Amino acid sequence: MKKILFVLVFLSLFIKLIAQEPLLAPHYMTAEEYARRSEIGKGFQETPPPTGEVRNIAEWEPAEAVLIAYKNGFYVPYNLIAEMSKDCKVIITLSGITEENTARNLLTNNNVNIDNCIFLYTTVDFWWTRDYSPWYIAVDNKEVALIDFPYNRPRPNDDAIPSKMATLLDLDMYAMNVIQTGGNYMCDGYGIGASTDLVTEEETQTEAQILEKMKQYLGINQYFIMMDPMDDYIKHIDCWGKFIDVDKVIITKVPQDDYRYADYEATAAFFAETNCSWGYPYKVYRVNVANSYANDVNPYTNSLILNNKVFVPQTGSSFDADALEVYKQAMPGYEVYGIMNTNTLNEWYNTDALHCRTYGVSDRKMIFIKHLPVQDITNSQTDFKIEAEVYSFEQLSIKEVTLFYSVNGAEYQSINMQAASVKSNIYSAEIPNQPTDAEIKYYIKATDSNDKTVTNPLIGEADPHVFNDKIVNYIASENLESFFNIYPNPSSGNFFIWFDLSFSQNIIIEIFNIAGQNILTEEIYLTKDEHLKNIDISKYGKGVYLLKAHGKNLSITKKIFVN
């Protein structure tokens, strides 16, 4: 049935595709390729998945390079290449020395830092490096590796790029047998990924099998497989949505008279009502577009985050300036660039823009700070403990980890975070408790022995973590010590919660792991007086967990230690 539907969709959209994208750039599957679709994934050899902890690296994490293609010309504008080459390497695929000489002249004449260009001799079918490049993972938070997959087009040269990149970068590569494409995938770096249902349409495996593969090879514990509100042939998520941080997403917004309006609003509502990996709902930002692709091209979510810069496609549309403002509001501290595309072989399209034609290469020597942000606290009677895990992918010693915090907008103060032991990756410090209602902003900065630094959040002071210490007047007997306790703590993961309530109420219990993922939610009704509630999370393994209990005039957060 899926194959019949795919044929019908393909045929119904073919005329539209001819008008929208020139035959020079068939981002869609051509008729000739469609006849060869059985070649997709043919002969693909799956490897065993990585062993140890696996984490899919997000687009906004440190990058050492960006990959683009040269094929009888560049398909991104020179001003973009020049800006990217200021801060990192630009890896350019081309066929050989003749094309390299031509490319060098073009780049030099257009103010590109040629010393930061690396030329990779290989043949590509097309220039959509995002779609066919490998995905980057961290293994045990100490080394970068690559994930290959069958590219969802019968384009063998493009499909070979992952192995070429593995050789160039000298990285281990694992092969995951799930038909995929990079434009239809995004992740948050903490175990959440998202794609449209194109992934289930093109795969013969069940959704459960796909989810298991994503978990094994990429460390994706929660995979959103979503409808495509754009309702276009390509069904790539980057055409209408984009994770821009662990807790932020940008979603296209069409006018109310657009027939897709309800679908876009439902998609935005899904994220606004869904917890991110840090344990609270996503912050959803909307970027306006026209209601007819025949009249306007607005590929604003098809942008590139590269270290501290964001490159947003521009087309001369009346919506261009507003799109840049949305990014500036959503990503304070980043340099936001609007990129026109007038000097290349293909202009930007709603189904093919800047994000499609570029792909960041994760920094093999990055520092990673793993941290679960503190959330709003009610009636805190202690200092605020801030804890983070810090890893050097160069296996260098961590020279310094510093906590910066500000109370009610005052100047930032700093505290040195201390390691639990000489060999520990866990660092902690305490922000002093505040006597009155307070808004507390903070960020963490780590420096290795080579003086490389990174912050969490990645943009640091310009976009810090924020929580509030709220003062609520409870019934006198209801305070942290007299009505709520956890024991034993530490435990094997099987423990009790003790309540002593002065009135009956519903209590919601939530438990989060250190990555911010909710592993347990339970609502219980407790009458007045004492109660014991048994909880068992031993199956989730050793570590530090966060327990939250919510009730009427009650919000308590405590750490659970599982040995």
DSSP H stretches of helix in 436-512: 480-483
Nearest Cα to Cα of residue 130 among 303, 337, 252, 342? 303
Q: Which of 117, 187, 276, 356 is catalytic?
A: 356
Give the separation between CA 473 and CA 55, rounded to whole angstroms.
Answer: 42
- The contacts of residue 534 (CB under 8 Å, 6+ apart) are 494, 495, 496
CB 425 within 8 A of CB 464: no
Nearest to 453, CA basis, from 445, 461, 462: 445
Query: Is the distance from CB of 310 to CB of 319 less than 8 angstroms?
Result: no
The CA-atom distances, in angstroms, between 385 and each of 217, 316, 438, 440, 557 are 33, 49, 16, 13, 12
Q: How far apart are CA 305 and CA 358, in angstroms?
A: 10
DSSP secondary structure letter of residue 412: P
Write the CB contacts of 68 (distance below 8 Å, at least 6 apart in sequence).
Answer: 74, 75, 76, 81, 90, 91, 92, 93, 127, 129, 357, 358, 359
- CA 389 from centroid of its chain's CA atoms: 19
CA distances from 516 to 351, 366, 453, 510 (A): 33, 22, 24, 11
Contact 106, 345 (CB under 8 A): no
Residue 360 phi/psi, 5-degree rounding, is: -70, 145
What's the rounded Cα separation, in Å, for the pair 249 and 435?
A: 35
Contact predicate 29/37, CB 8 Å = yes
| C-alpha distance from residue 499 to each of 131, 421, 480, 521, 556 (Å) | 53, 34, 10, 17, 12
Under 8 Å between Cβ of 131 and 359: no
Contact between residue 366 and residue 312 where contact means Cβ atoms under 8 Å apart:
no
Say whether 88 is catalytic.
no
Cβ proximity of 276 and 192 under 8 Å: yes
The answer to whether the CB of 147 falls within 8 A of the CB of 176 is: yes
Q: How far apart are CA 247 and CA 410, in angstroms?
A: 25
Active site residues: 356
